[in-house]
Amino acid sequence: MKGEDIVDDTCWIIKTHSPWIMPEAPKFTCNKLLVIVRNPLDVMLSWLNLLCLANHNSKAPFDYDKEYPEWWDWWVRDCTKHYKNWFR
């Protein structure tokens, strides 16, 4: 996308994987900021499917929360911790 990844005053658009802070991402300052964030509940499941299935297009053949409720609770707590850090 035009303007993406230029980190000076000519930049218009930067995509992130927020709230996960990527250590390799370049830091920059800006005069204006517009943040559009996906619904955290959607992101939690989308990120989980990407990690477990190694692609952006698949869905697990079962419900994580029903088959593995304790693990799902841990996952939600861990994701929530990242959200809190990002908002701070």
Render pLDDT for 49-65 as a digit per residue (tens, 0 to 9): 988 998 878 889 999 99
Give, in degrees to the nearest 5, the angle at Cα 51 between 48 and 53: 100
Compute the average pLDDT of residues 55-83: 91
Query: Which own/partner contact pairs does 48-53 have at CB distance under 8 Å and 24+ positions apart?
Result: 48/75
Render pLDDT for 23-38 as a digit per residue (tens, 0 to 9): 676 676 667 777 777 7
Choose between 66 and 88: higher pLDDT.
Answer: 66
Q: What percent of the chain has pLDDT over 70?
A: 66
Can you spell out the DSSP letters for 21-59?
PPTTSPP---S--------HHHHHHHHHHHHHHSSSS--
pLDDT at res. 50: 87
